[in-house]
Structure 1
Amino acid sequence: MLNRRQFLQIAATTCALATPLKIATAKSRPLLKPPRLKPGAIVGIISPASATFVREELNIVLDAVRGLGLVPKLAPHVGDRYGYLAGSDKDRAADINQFFQEAQVSALLPIRGGWGCSRILPYLDYEIIRQNPKIIIGFSDITALILAINARTQLVTFHGPNGLTSWRTSQTESFRRVLFAGEAVTIANPKDGDDGDRLMQVKNRIQTITPGKAQGKLIGGNLSVLSGIVGSLYLPDMAGAILFLEDTGENIYRLDRLMTHLKIAGVFDKLAGFIFGQCPGCTPDADYGSLTLEEVVWGHIQPLKIPAYYGAAIGHLENIVTLPIGLEVEIDAVAGSIKMLESAVI
């Protein structure tokens, strides 16, 4: 019969043998940048979230891509429908996996957001994606897709236009400077044309929550979508990050609930800096009283005592800037600016 000391020695040896070998994780991998776009490059048109029911909308996206001097290529399942989704989860993921494998495809552009990207994350082949780095861009529900790919591969992804966004001059210029020219740009709110004859700026105003500058990798997107993947394998490491958030059409109490989720999950405690963008249609519930959106954001962020500002021109807007997810940036919470510290593409 074994005595206690002998038993503990054998148990310790067994546990040591059973301990799995350490393997390289996404966090330990170096940052990976996709090749820049060139005129005539092929762009894969995907539908990873909500379905497109009107043929004309797809034609609009094709015209936009051609207008950029690029060549659109439709994913095999881009026209599928499964209720409100653009086909089954596995088929939507398969389109993404296929385009990352195809050498001639340089970028992936979703038609729209809506809902559905979180459902396909378990079916993506992240090793294939890492071995074939390409530009993938989008916003709103696409937040889940671009964050997950960055988290699992360290590939720089892009919060920017979907196919059906406006593609007006300022949006197109931002897209070209970051993804074609490879510029390390500084992003700040535009001066609205209507304010040209005023003594003060009225639109696109910045409000400083906590003054100062901070550096860190830029992470963020739609608050509702980002909150939904907290605690999963698909949220990038937030330690030392600059977090930006935006949303649309949510009651203020719901936004408070979402931000409270980030707070109690420890996300805010890790940040180096914070940006809140735009939230059109975010109004109080029809009740006796409500916090304002400013009170909600200030209440969660000001106690962190990190550089933070409110009112960035990021979100569901007419013109959408192109922002690199996972790239090192510097923010100035007084000027309301995001400065890329290096190119996001090679």
Structure 2
Amino acid sequence: MTNRRSFIQGLGMLPAALALRSVAAEARGSRLPPRLRPGDTVGLVEPAGFSDNAAQIEAAENTIRGMGLVPRLGAHVGMRHGYLAGTDRQRAADLNAMFADAEVRAVFAVRGGWGSARILPFLDWKIIRANPKLLIGFSDITALHLAFAARAGFSTIHSPNAANSWPEISWNSLWYLAFAGATPTFRNPEIETDDPAARERWRTVAIRPGQARGRLIGGNLSVLTALVGTPWLPDFDGAILFLEDTNEAQYRVDRMLSQLALSGILGRVAGVVFGHCTRCTAGVEDYIGFTIPELLHQYLAPLGVPAFYGANIGHIANQLSLPVGAQVEIDAAPGTIRVLEPVAR
């Protein structure tokens, strides 16, 4: 943990001159959440699963301190209610309290798991809309990102949770978005290696080449599809949809992509980026069904919009931090995501 904190602190000293602020930030003014600065207080909440032990919470606090920030734990962090971190109302109360607290500049999820969707009816959307702050996390936190995109009126950041590791790509991309208020272009790094597995890890594949612009919406495939038919999904018309998942057998990914197609969501987007489906295998010998790439081609190629897969998004090391709800431009052939507007002022 000490080495990780030192690494993050070192990266935190990157010169602010790297920030490329756009005029759009001034135009949108107060609707943008505030940028993070060294010494800022940020909230730590558990909207879903409970932490395994006190050490996991302490590790999350140390990671936040390593970013140069001051952690403030939600009142119910560390509680347990079944497999949840407190009751639905308790977990929602922590999130509401962080957005109501003028000293808190942003809110990090400690971890994911399951349960964020359960608290959506108990969130105080009036308080949240009146106090724009960056919400940061991923996996089950997708439910919050989607609901915020539908109800809050400002962007959030899909990135590692506070209790996860924060290697270079994850931290740098968060710094550009949350600390610098910049508009970077993201793509997988080019590596020189003779290891075919390493080359495959960083390779992006264009299902349909081309460029597309739109509001970046998405996250975890399982969580997103579980919200289809509810009032908590944002408008997907002209959006850039991004997806990832983990520990799902191929037939279940097929089923979820089918749900997005049959519900009309896939037919409304301007482009698609699929990250990684980590450990997504049937777990049987001599498997003869469709592979994940085959399924992606089956569902995405007929859309006629730019689409690619292999972006470093998902349950992987060095995942990108991405602005949910912000305008971006993708270029499928080189596998790039260009942020077109800042998410913090």
TM-score, structure 1 as length reference: 0.88
1:154 Cα deviation after fit: 1.9
2:137 counterpart of 1:133: no
Partner of 2:278, secondary structure, is: coil
Residues of 1 paired with 2:283 and 2:30: CA distance? 43
Contact 1:112 1:162 in 2 (8 A): yes
Contact 2:250 2:280 in 1 (8 A): yes
Which residue of the partner structure matches residue 122 of structure 1?
Answer: 121
2:307 counterpart of 1:308: yes
Q: How does 1:1-346 map to 2 (within 5 A)?
A: 32-192=31-191, 195=193, 201-284=199-282, 286=284, 289-346=288-345
Letter of the aligned partner of 2:210 in structure 1?
G
Letter of the aligned partner of 1:237 in structure 2?
D
RMSD, aligned CA? 1.9
Partner of 2:48, secondary structure, is: coil
1:197 Cα deviation after fit: 9.3
Letter of the aligned partner of 1:49 in structure 2?
A
Partner of 1:155, secondary structure, is: coil
Aligned length: 316
Residues of 2 paired with 1:320 and 1:78: CA distance? 25
Q: Which has the larger radius of gyration?
A: 1
Partner of 1:244, secondary structure, is: strand
The alignment-based identity, stated in percent, is: 48
Per-residue deviation, residues 180-232 of structure 1 (Å, max 9, x unmatched) = 0111011111234x62899x944310111001000000001000000001111
Per-residue deviation, residues 150-196 of structure 1 (Å, max 9, x unmatched) = 2112221111120111112222111111100111011111234x628
Partner of 2:170, secondary structure, is: helix
1:53 Cα deviation after fit: 2.5
Residues of 1 paired with 2:96 and 2:328: CA distance? 29
Structure 2 residues not aligned, in runs of 5+: 1-27
Per-residue deviation, residues 84-122 of structure 1 (Å, max 9, x unmatched) = 100000000000001100000001111100000000000
Partner of 1:277, secondary structure, is: strand
TM-score, structure 2 as length reference: 0.88
Residues of 1 paired with 2:56 and 2:339: CA distance? 33
Structure 1 residues not aligned, in runs of 5+: 1-28
Return 110-119 or 147-156, whichever deviates more.
147-156
Contact 1:152 1:233 in 2 (8 A): no
Letter of the aligned partner of 1:114 in structure 2?
G
Contact 1:209 1:308 in 2 (8 A): yes
Q: 1:118 to 1:202 in 2, by over 3 A?
A: closer
Residues of 2 paired with 1:334 and 1:51: CA distance? 41
Q: 1:50 to 1:144 in 2, by over 3 A?
A: same
